[in-house]
Structure 1
Amino acid sequence: MIDLNLPLWGDVTVFLLAALVIGVSGVKLAEYADRLADRTGLGEAITGTIMLGLITALPGLAASVTAALQGHAVLALSNAMGGIAFQTTVLAFADVMHRKANLEHAAASATTMMQTIMLILLISIVLLGLGSPDVVVGSVHPATLLLLAGAGMAFWLSYRVSEQPMWHPRHTSETVLDQPAPGSQHEQLWLLWTGLVVAGLLTLVSGSLVAESAGNIQDKTDLSAPIIGGLLMAGATSLPELVTCLAAVKRGALTLAVSDVVGGNFFDVLFIAAADFAFLSGSLYHAPGVGTREILLTTITLLLNVILLSGLIYRQKHGPGNIGFESVLMLLVYFTGFVVLSFMH
């Protein structure tokens, strides 16, 4: 890692300040993305997945690639998978905020369900890479090439389902439809795009600082890489998804909130492909230190998204504590999973 010769408290300070910038930028990202969705007519599902999902994923991309370039393969993998796990669990907190009905009931759409299915497919490819033989094609593992091909198919299918859906979830009194805000067609496009880009650049730079400081903290403490990468670094670089998701729910843009998280998760899986290209010592999936903990973290992430999909399909209106059963299960799986990971060496 790039070490600025700071003491431990200095690295912790850099980490916290960078995380704060990421969080503040996330609030503006949600606002600009929601207004752009209305102004351009793209809709919240596609805007959340591609536009907002990509931009809020930038800190994680910077963190994973930086870690891989500097030889921290476990950090790169843990940041990507831990980010997906954290961001999926964010929907449970958003569910708590939306008191009228279960979030997955109110925001259900064919596009969101297809996106979640495709995400499960991509995470399964990562799991295949971790359990397959250590071979490379050029300088990367074949799983990375499968990830890129699978991502292309996933984006195409999600777009087709959004543009030409063959069925729709039944609308109820609790369903919140994606409707443009009044007066949205009079917004200045260049101002919206400028605000979105500036906020995105701030998150990108802050993501690099988070990666560097997290690596330095790991070097100076006894904390394991999966905990540093999968919990601390992933949590910090996932702050945009947390903030934008909660801000979108507060604005009433429920489809944008769910699509932002699922879209961000799409790009987080691709961090692993980017990190494999950046890792110059062979296959990222079989680098020194990568093993059972990373397989468990990936499996936890896969399970969280299966639970989310079940909630989107079942569409429970009210559950325990006025949130859906899937939110309760996601919180239980997430926190139990990281407790188990913390005891693995």
Structure 2
Amino acid sequence: MSIVFLIAGVVLLPVGSNRLVSGAVALSERLGISPLVVALTVVAFGTSLPELVVCVQAALSGSPGIAVGNVVGSNIANILLILGAAALLKPIACDPKSVTRDGLIMVAATALFVVLALAGLIPRWQGGIMLALLVAYVLFSYWRESSGKDPAEGHLAEVEEFEGLKNRPWSVIVGAILLGLVGVVAGAHLLVTGAVDIARVLGVSEEVIGLTMVALGTSLPELAVAVAAAYKGHSDVALGNVVGSNIFNILAILGATAVVVPIEIPPQILRFDLWAMSAFTLVLIPIMLTGRRIGRAEAGLFLVAYAGYTAIQYVGVDRILGVPAGI
């Protein structure tokens, strides 16, 4: 049953998220809300909703390893798996002007996460600060792009990926939102329940399950968007989506979860995974600053690196690092 729960959660999360975001985008456009606002709020929050629900449920159920592992693992999967898959279909070329600012903010958010995590606990007041920084980021992004100081094409292209319902009846739009919300909440519950049970049966730590199975499951909405965009020749959307998702995962997901319940940082994540996430994040900076294309060769390296990272988790990080059991 645990495997059934896990699979059901992995299926429900991306399907529910896609329906929810598509319905919300259609509703926003019917109400005359600016596509830029929709991109910065509805799409950004909607595609990160699976991580949020999973993290809050895991933290409330006393599984901080899954909560923190989900964010760290999702950010790593976003960079290595999603960009790798998208660039394998169609090489990614980006305009440095369109991603440099958000890329630097992603690095700053990652650095903030590392500094806060080193204390071993992220309390409620720090979660509140992270949420305040997120609001400031969204408002600043809207001001810059609406005033023409930064190009908005990347954000607007993200909206196009969710416009399938904009001409449908109101009942279909509202139904998609409600069903999507139910799917995300139910999928998150099943995913966390199944993952915790499997970890106990296999004797694998909750951190490992959070960093791999759960992180992959919650990253499927971003993966679906990236692959669909690549097929349509919009592979650059994948880079903007990954950068935005990583910022939201740290500031919104961790921030909101910490406000609900203070987050303990598991020792393994402090020793290894936090630094792995930081290293993979820094790999993107030269690409974004120079506009260097992510070709199929680089895509292959990204995918191999993700496979290697996942294998390390199951071999045992402590065994590889030579850390005695129980430390």
Same structural fold, with TM-score higher than 0.5 when normalized by the shorter chain: yes
Q: Which residue in 1 is equivalent to 2:92? A: 103
Q: 2:317 is paired with a residue of what secondary structure?
A: coil
CA contact (8 A) 1:126 1:143 kept: no
Instruction: Give the Å deviation of 1:68.
Output: 0.7
2:12 corresponds in structure 1 to 21
Correspondence 1:207 to 2:188: yes
Q: Relative to structure 1, is the Cα distance of residues 113 and 201 closer, same or farther in structure 2, using a 3 angstrom cutoff? A: farther
Residue identity in the other structure for 1:93:
A
Deviation at 1:234, TM superposition (A): 0.9
2:287 paired residue among 307, 311, 316: 311
Question: Which residue number in structure 2 is paired with residue 231 of structure 1?
Answer: 212
Unaligned runs of 5+ in 2: 319-327
Whether 2:246 is the aligned partner of 1:273: answer: no
Output the TM-score relative to the length of structure 1: 0.74
Contact 1:77 1:294 in 2 (8 A): no
Decide whether the 8 Å contact of 1:293 with 1:344 is kept in 2: no
Q: Taking structure 1 as reference, are residues 313 and 197 closer, same or farther at Cα in structure 2, changes over 3 Å only?
A: farther
Q: 1:274: how far off? A: 2.6
Q: In the alignment, is residue 113 of structure 1 matched against residue 81 of structure 2?
A: no
Residues 1-345 of structure 1 correspond to what in structure 2 (within 5 A)? 10-25=1-16, 28=19, 42-43=34-35, 47-89=38-80, 90-98=82-90, 102-105=91-94, 108=95, 110-132=97-119, 140=123, 142-166=125-149, 178=157, 187-188=167-168, 190=170, 191-192=172-173, 194-254=175-235, 256-269=237-250, 270-279=252-261, 283-286=262-265, 290-317=266-293, 319-321=295-297, 325=298, 327=299, 330-342=302-314, 343-345=316-318
Residue 324 of structure 2: aligned partner: none
Listed as ranges, the gaps of 5+ residues in structure 1 are: 1-9
Equivalent position SS for 2:149: coil
TM-aligned CA deviation for residue 168 of structure 1: 5.5
Relative to structure 1, the CA distance from residue 303 to residue 330 in structure 2 (aligned partners, 3 Å threshold; closer, same or farther) is farther
Task: Give the stretch that moved more between structures: 335-344 or 143-152.
Answer: 335-344
Instruction: Tell me the percent identity.
Output: 17
CA offset at residue 75 of structure 1? Answer: 1.4
Cα-to-partner distance string for 1:1-60 (whole Å, 9 max, x where unaligned)? xxxxxxxxx1011111221223444565676678789876844x7544422221222222
Contact (CA 8 Å) 1:147, 1:273: kept in 2 or not?
A: yes
Residue 220 of structure 1 deviates from its aligned partner by: 1.7
Which residue in 1 is equivalent to 2:325? none
Distance 1:243 1:46 in 2: 22
- Cα 1:46–1:246 change in 2 (3 A) is farther
Q: Which whole-Å deviations, capped at 9, do the CAs of 1:65-115 have from their partners, x for residues lacking one?
A: 1111111112111111111211222122111122xxx3243xx36454323
Give the AA of the match of 1:122. A
Deviates more, 1:158-167 or 1:221-230: 158-167
Structure 1 residues 56 and 256 mapped into 2: Cα distance closer, same or farther (>3 Å)?
same
Counterpart amino acid of 1:220? V
Aligned AA (1:147): M
Q: 1:168 to 1:160 in 2, by over 3 A?
A: same
Distance of 1:198 and 1:255 partners within structure 2: 30
Deviation (angstroms), 1:152:
2.2
Say if 1:119 and 1:266, in contact at 8 Å, map to a contact too: yes
Please list the CA deviations of residues 161-201 of structure 1 after superposition, one character each: whole Å capped at 9, or x if unmatched: 322343659x9xxx9x95979x99x8358454653553344
Distance 1:22 1:222, change over 3 A: same
Larger relative helix fraction:
2
Q: Secondary structure at the match of 1:203?
A: helix
Counterpart residue identity of residue 316, structure 1:
R
> How many residues align structurally?
311
Distance 2:98 2:144 in 1: 6
Matched residues in 1 for 2:281 and 2:21: separation? Answer: 23
Letter matched to residue 127 of structure 1: V
Q: Secondary structure at the match of 2:216?
A: helix
2:118/2:270 contact within 8 Å kept: no
